Structure 1
Amino acid sequence: MTNIEMLENTLPIAPLKLIAMESCKPLGQKVNDYIVSFRENTINEVTESPLYRNYKANNYQVDCSCPRFGSGEAKGILKETIRGTDLFIMTDVCNYSLTYTVNGHLNHMSPDDHYQDLKRIIAAATGKARRINVIMPFLYESRQHKRTRRESLDCALALEELDAMGVSNIITFDAHDPRVQNAIPLSGFDSFNPQYQFLKALFREVPDLKADKDHLMIISPDEGAMHRAVYFSNVLGVDMGMFYKRRDYSTVVNGKNPIVAHEFLGDDVTGKDVLIVDDMISSGESMLDVAKQLKDRNAGRVFVCTTFGLFTDGFDKFDEYYNKGYISKVITTNLTYLPPELYEKPYFVKADMSKFIALIIDSLNHDVPISSVISPTDKIHALLEKREKGLL
């Protein structure tokens, strides 16, 4: 039975409501529009049963806000009732574009600020929702997922805190280390991956890309991204290679150990297009160095696929490497804030995740299995078949 058939034959567990925090309003609006479309087209006759109350609607979003006092303190306000609903709250902790004032000084919102606002909205619900689900595409503090020496375990603490506040499900994407869910073993935690959306965007942007073992190779920029590269390699039937990051563990710069060198492990890449896959571009220094080394090894075009494009050091280096031919395209999702100037870059390709998120929300609201959503293998095979037939 397909996912759509399951949705048509299953009752929702409660009326659906969606809160898109200020940090992800545009993405939340697109998700809402997709859910409206799904429910208009998949259910032909809605019964008069109370279980279908508000099932079809033009808008599932809840109006809310987190106003701040002059001191920088804030409060969460829900402007309509959410009693008895299946509440989904979306937040982007990486949206640095939002600002507020502290004693007259302008302050950009940090991940800590966004996380506090999320808790404020959960607190404003005061336990009246039937179920609370949090969609946090970039998992808060996920880069601080393990302890070495005397360090805080921030991600685990945040998950425990949300669990204690009554959150039933936490939905994230490409978690830096999914094992952090061990902090809340009895609560719902799902980490989804955008492999299908990457390939769909790449095939549309690069029509002449040949996805076979003679023309394409998958590259992991480090050992931590190996599972992503292995998946792409298996589903596409192409070879893969990886780089090993040799770090100076005696030094800490900007909170991390600097990379001394990238060592390549893999077959000859001469003449082949290469696809580098990773979970995020932070400063981009590591990714760009990998791209340069691949070009130095006579690789063809270099395509970068990354779930989160943070670009914390700006775009100057990416512009330089694109102009020098080291990179051809950078594919990233709209799960986190992307500055307007990025859309003007000739190398930028957006992988839209709004329909995927809407499908996840609709499936969870109906309490149906989401195994077909978690594993996109069948969809990728269908995509490759369409491409072979010239339908894409």
Structure 2
Amino acid sequence: MLLNLDSQFTPYGTENTIEFTSFTFSGGEPHIKISTDLKNTHEVTITHRIQSFHDMGMLFLATNALRNMDVKTLHVVLPYFPAARQDRLMVSGEPLSVKVYTELMNAQQYASVTIFDPHSEVAPALLNNCKVINNHSFIKKVTQQLSEDVVLIAPDGGALKKIYKVANYLQKHEVVECSKSRNVTTGQLTGFKVYADDLQGKDCLIVDDICDGGGTFLGLAKALKAKNAGNLYLTVSHGIFSKGFTELEKQFTKIFTTDSFKTIENAHCVQIPLEELLRK
């Protein structure tokens, strides 16, 4: 049986789904009531897209409700794992947020937790029974829509290991490394560097896991164009796009993402559903 907590995200389809109603009390507490009879149901997979602590709370309430109905085995699919970027302590007084989220998840004793293209190796290491789906098939679907000689761009050191694995999987794309400088105290980006003398007009595809406000990619786009890049494309596994697409559209011919975080309606953005990747 399936419990899709986000009605717009049904990666395993809508057959054998559990019916429920949910709402938020006036005091701010989320609530769920499962209406499907689950007698003799011993295993359920819960899918959800987490955008807030409220969403995480709904997941835990659903977990408790299912256990109260005597469901013994629970699997969870959370393509975007929250706080994965807060995976190290940089400034005194801040939390190690990913540890907080993983401890909350581990306390639920799920049989498995499936995540897609995590920001680093920290979240999978901290999560019990974690299953990771890499971004290889996603990037392959993107490159099939672009020129055969498109160059893969690693925006920073954190993306290097993953982009070389992708390049090895695809077996036909050059990789160009880049770096960025950031003020640790303020979080402000202070500069970008492209480790190529001349891109010779080749199309470039920046590959990363998350786009939030987009500042990294806007700054990098200018640095790439200064090195004679051709058309610029951006692909991110998790599209938050908290500042919209207006500025990104000025720099990138096309933007690619999945539906791991939210459903997007924008003519400039191609959203590839995760359904085929999660069914593997």
Normalized against structure 2, the TM-score is what? 0.90
**Is the 1:244–1:264 Cα contact (8 Å) retained in structure 2?**
yes
Letter in 2 for 1:309: G
Matched, 1:192 2:133: yes
Which is helix-richer, 1 or 2?
Answer: 1
Structure 1 segment 263-274 matched on structure 2, within 5 A:
263-266=193-196, 268-274=198-204
Letter in 2 for 1:237: K
**Is the 2:150–2:202 Cα contact (8 Å) retained in structure 1?**
yes
Matched, 1:93 2:50: yes
Partner of 2:245: 315
- Give the drift of 1:267: 5.2
Partner of 2:183: 248
**Is the 1:115–1:140 Cα contact (8 Å) retained in structure 2?**
no
Partner of 1:167: 110
Return the match for 1:157 from 94, 100, 107: 100
**Is the 1:201–1:350 Cα contact (8 Å) retained in structure 2?**
no
- Give the drift of 1:198: 2.9
Higher relative contact order (CA 8 A, sep 6+): 1
**Is the 1:202–1:349 Cα contact (8 Å) retained in structure 2?**
no
Task: Decide whether aligned partners of structure 1 residues 154 and 139 sit closer, same or farther in structure 2, where only a CA change above 3 A counts.
Answer: same
**Is the 1:175–1:191 Cα contact (8 Å) retained in structure 2?**
yes
Letter in 1 for 2:60: K
Structure 1 segment 187-266 matched on structure 2, within 5 A:
187-203=128-144, 205-206=145-146, 209-210=147-148, 215-234=149-168, 235-249=170-184, 251-252=185-186, 257-266=187-196
The separation in 2 between residues aligned to 1:157 and 1:168, in whole angstroms, is 19
**Is the 2:102–2:126 Cα contact (8 Å) retained in structure 1?**
yes
SS in structure 1 at match of 2:26: coil
Letter in 2 for 1:79: S
**Is the 1:310–1:338 Cα contact (8 Å) retained in structure 2?**
no
Q: Hey, which bits of structure 1, 4+ residues long, moved more than 4 A?
A: none
**Is the 2:12–2:275 Cα contact (8 Å) retained in structure 1?**
yes
The separation in 2 between residues aligned to 1:202 and 1:217, in whole angstroms, is 10
SS in structure 2 at match of 1:32: coil
**Is the 1:131–1:167 Cα contact (8 Å) retained in structure 2?**
yes
Task: Decide whether aligned partners of structure 1 residues 329 and 236 sit closer, same or farther in structure 2, where only a CA change above 3 A counts.
Answer: farther
Partner of 1:113: 54
Partner of 1:355: 276
SS in structure 2 at match of 1:117: helix
- Give the drift of 1:217: 1.7
- Give the drift of 1:202: 4.1
Letter in 2 for 1:142: A
Letter in 1 for 2:162: R
- Give the drift of 1:69: 1.9
The structure with the larger Rg is 1
Report the RMSD for the aligned CA atoms in angstroms.
Answer: 2.0
Q: Give percent identity, aligned residues only.
A: 20
Return the match for 2:234 from 290, 304, 308: 304
**Is the 2:45–2:75 Cα contact (8 Å) retained in structure 1?**
yes
Which is strand-richer, 1 or 2?
Answer: 2
Structure 1 segment 287-298 matched on structure 2, within 5 A:
287-298=217-228
Structure 2 gaps of 5+ residues are: none
- Give the drift of 1:242: 1.7
Letter in 2 for 1:90: T
**Is the 2:9–2:48 Cα contact (8 Å) retained in structure 1?**
no
Structure 1 gaps of 5+ residues are: 1-16, 34-58, 95-110, 361-392
Give the total of aligned pairs: 276
The separation in 1 between residues aligned to 2:22 and 2:82, in whole angstroms, is 19
The separation in 2 between residues aligned to 1:195 and 1:67, in whole angstroms, is 37
Partner of 1:387: none
Letter in 2 for 1:283: G
Normalized against structure 1, the TM-score is what? 0.66
